[in-house]
Chains A and B, each alone.
Chain A
Amino acid sequence: MQKLCKCAVKPIIMHLQQSCRDVKHALSVLVQAGAAETRACKRICKGKNVKLIIATIKPFKLEEVREALTTVGVRGMMVSDIKGFGSQSGHTEIYRGAEYAVNFVPKVKLEIVVQDSMADQVVSTIATTAKTEKIGDGKIFVLDVESALRVRTGETNDDAL
C-alpha cells in the first residue's frame, strides 16, 4: 500500500466505499491496484498537479497585473467585476448632500489555473504588482483542482492549460 502514490489512493478508497461490499473483493481490488502501481501512478497522477489561484485586486491594477502575469508565462485567466468587503469594510460617499455608506466595494476577481510548479510565482507576481500598501489591496487564495479538460481537444489536467 505504501507504494501507492498519494493520488492513486483516493480513487481506490472511493471505489471501495461505493462498490465493494465484501472484504475479499476489497482486498483483491487493493492487490490489483498495488500490482498496477507504477502504471496507475503515471496515468492518474499525471496532470493532477493543477492549482486554481483566486485573487481579488483593486480594479485599476488589473492591466498591470495582467501584463506581469503574461510576462511570467501565464497563458490564460478569468476576470470578473465583483463587489465585496473585507477589512476595508466599505467607505462613505455623498449624494445630494447626504452621506451614505458604500458597504460593498468594487473589486476585480482573477481566476487563474496553472501548473503546481508555477503557482508560487504567480502568487508572488500578483502580490507585488497589485500592492499599493493601502487598505483594500485584496487577497489571494490557492486551491487544488480536481481535474481540468480542454473542450476542443479533450486534453486533460495540465495538458489542458
Chain B
Amino acid sequence: MKLTKYLSAGAALALLPSIALAQEAAPGFDEIGPYLMTTLLFLVGGFLVFWMAAGFSMLEAGLVRSKNVTMQLTKNIALFSIASIMYWLVGFNLMYPGEFNGYIAFNFVPTVLEPVGLGAADASLDYASVASDFFFQLMFVAATASIVSGALAERIKLWPFLIFVVVLTGFMYPISGSWQWGGGWLSELGFSDFAGSTIVHSVGGWAALAGALVLGPRLGKYKDGRVHPMPGSNLALATLGTFILWMGWFGFNGGSQLAAGTVGDITDVGRIFANTNMAAAAGSMAALILTQILYKKVDLTMVLNGALAGLVSITAEPLAPSLFGALLTGAVGGVIVVITVPMLDKLKIDDVVGAIPVHLFAGIWGTLAVAFYTGNWGAQITGIIAYGVFTFVIAYVVWTILKGAMGIRVSEEAEITGLDTSELGMEAYPEFAKG
C-alpha cells in the first residue's frame, strides 16, 4: 500500500519536467499578470462608472418636479446611448490618437477591437486590452453629458439637447481630453488631472453653464426680484442617485490608476478608494453643518450635492493625499456648493440640480488643489482656463446655433403643463393626483 503511494508520487515527479517544457512557449504569469490585472481593473472600473449613469438618472429624476420626470429619464438613457456610439465612431481615436500635434488629432476613425482569442504575443502586455480601455474611457464621456442634462432640466426640448450631446461626446470632450490624457500640450506642460475634475466634470459644467445662459431660467423661477424655489419631486430617488454616484466613483477614480499589475499599483488603487470615500463623506458633512448654521435647518438636497462636490474635488488627485488631506479637499468642495448654489440664483442662472456648483466650481477647486502636491500652480491654472475657454465658447456657439435653427426651449404652455405630457405624452406617475 505504502509502496504504491510512493511509486505514484515518483511517477508524477518524473512527469513534471515535461509539463514545464510544454509551457515554455507560452509566457509565464510574471509576464502576462500585469496585463490581466489592468484589464480586469478597467472592466470592474468601467462597470462601476457605467452605474453612475443610473445615479445621474435617479438624482435628476428626484430633483425635477413630477411633471418632468419621464423627460429627464428619457434624456439620460438617450445621452448615454449617444455617448456610447459617438465615442466608438470618432471619440476614442480623437482622444487617444497616439502621436499628434498636441492640440487636435485629425484622426476621425471608428474604434477597432482586438481580434477574438488574441494571443499573448500580440497583446500590449505593458498596458491592457484595447476593448477594456475603450469600454472604461467611454463611461467617462457619458458622465460629462449627464451633467449637462441635469442643469438644463424642465425646459429644454429633447432633440436639440440630443444634438448637443452628439457634438459634446463625439468632438468637444475627446478633443479637449486629448490635450491631457491623449498626451497633448497640457500634459507636456505638467498639468495634472488624475481622473478628470477638469477634463470630465468641469467640461460638463462649462457646457451646462453655456446652455443655461442661452436657454434662460425656468418660467417663474426669478420673478419680481425674488427666487421662487421649485422643490424636487422625490428626495428618496435623489438620495439613491447620490449613493449610486458615490459607489460608481470608486471605479471612476480607482480605475484611473490605469494599472493594477504590481504591488504598488494595486495598493494605490486601494488608497484611491479610501480617499475617494473620505472626500465624499467630508463634502456631505460640510454641507450638513453649513446649512444648519446658515439656514437653521439642514437641507438634504445640499447635503447630497455636498457629497458629490467632495467626490468631484478629490477626482483631480485622489492618490497623493492622506485620508486627512482627502477630508480637507472634500470638505472645501461641500462648502463651495452651499455658497455657490444661492450665488447662481442671484445671477439668475437656473441650474435645476446644482450641476454647475458641483461639477464646475468644485472641479476647479479640486484641480487647483493638486498644486498643493505638485507645486505647479501655473500648469493647473493654465489647464483650468484652457478647458474653460474651449468648452464654454464652443458650447455657447453650438447652443446659439441650435436656438436659431430649431429652437431649444419648449413653449410656455408646454413648460407649465410639464414636458412629460406635452413633449412625450407619457407621465412618470400617472396614478398620482395632481397637487
Contact = CB atoms under 8 A, between A and B. Distances in A.
Interface in A87-104: 94-100
Given A94-B297, A95-B299, A95-B301, A100 B228 contact: yes
20 contacts: A94-B295, A94-B297, A95-B229, A95-B231, A95-B299, A96-B299, A96-B302, A96-B341, A96-B342, A96-B345, A97-B294, A97-B299, A97-B302, A97-B341, A97-B342, A98-B228, A98-B229, A98-B345, A100-B228, A100-B229
Interface in B210-241: 227-229, 231
B310 interface: no
B6 to A, nearest CB: 79
A58 B413 CA distance: 36
Nearest to A94: B295
B354 interface: yes
B244 interface: no
A99 B228 CA distance: 8
A121 B340 CA distance: 56
A95 B297 CA distance: 10
B338 interface: yes
A4 B294 CA distance: 71
B297 A98 contact: no
A160 B172 CA distance: 75
Interface centre among A97, A98, A100 (most CB of B within 10 A): A97
A96 B354 contact: yes
Dominant SS among interface residues on chain A: strand
Contacts of A98: 227-229, 342, 345
A97 B295 contact: yes
B227 A94 contact: no
A100 B227 contact: yes
B297 A97 contact: no
B207 to A, nearest CB: 22
Nearest to B63: A96
Contacts of B345: 96-98
A69 to B, nearest CB: 28
B79 to A, nearest CB: 24
A97 B354 CA distance: 12
A92 to B, nearest CB: 11
Contacts of A99: 227
A96 B291 CA distance: 9
A98 B230 CA distance: 10
Contacts of B227: 98-100
A22 B310 CA distance: 90
Nearest to B342: A97
A112 B345 CA distance: 47
Given A96-B229, A97-B299, 8 more contacts: A94-B297, A95-B231, A96-B301, A96-B342, A96-B354, A97-B338, A98-B228, A100-B228
Interface in B334-364: 338, 341-342, 345, 354
Top-9 shortest CB links A-B: A97-B342, A95-B229, A98-B227, A94-B295, A100-B229, A98-B229, A97-B341, A96-B341, A95-B231
Nearest to B345: A98
A94 B229 CA distance: 8
A94 B297 CA distance: 8
